[in-house]
Amino acid sequence: MIPLLALLALLIVIYLTAGALILYHLYKYRLPPTPLLLAHQSSDKTSLIAGIFILVSLAIIGAVLWLAISTPWGDIAATLQSLKR
């Protein structure tokens, strides 16, 4: 099960890198909040969306890690072995 856990860790690292890139872009290229531009926008939703993105990501990553820790990997290996037979 070690390859599976390594793959899991790799996917989470890739996700975090992409997520960081997205947040960087979101803040760098959003409309500058000058009064002139804000007069034409009801509100700037960048912070709200970034907040939702961070919270959901952390919640899911936390759940995945908790599942990885609490999973009886020996039982899964035995189940998969019995399936092969």
Partner 1 sequence: MINITEQEKIITIVRRHIWIFASSAIVFFTLALLPLAVFPILKVLLPIFQSPLTNLYWMLYGIFFLFLFLRFMIDWMRYYLDFWIITDRKIIDVEFLNLFNHKIVEFPVSKIQDVTVRVDGMMPVFLNYGDVHIETASENTSLEIPQIPDPNGMKDIILNLLTKGENHVRTQQVDANQA
Please report, as ranges, the residues that interact with partner 1 according to CB under 8 A: 8, 11-12, 15, 18-19, 21-22, 25-26, 29-32, 34, 36-37, 39-41, 45-46, 49, 53, 56-57, 60-61, 63-64, 67-68, 70-72, 75-76, 79, 83
Residue 6 beta carbon to partner 1: minimum distance, rounded to whole angstroms? 13
Provide φ and ψ at 42, rounded to 5°.
Answer: -65, -45
Least distance CB 3 / partner 1 (angstroms): 14
Tell me whether residue 6 or residue 41 sits nearer to partner 1 (CB atom).
41
Task: Show the tokens assigned to 18.
Answer: 């992409």
Of 6 and 60, CB closest to partner 1: 60
1 neighbors 73 (Cβ within 8 angstroms): yes
Q: Closest separation between CB of residue 84 and partner 1, Å? A: 12
Distance CA 19, CA 61 (A): 12
Provide the 10 A C-beta neighbour count for residue 79.
11
Are residues 44 and 38 in contact, defined by beta-carbon separation less than 8 angstroms? yes
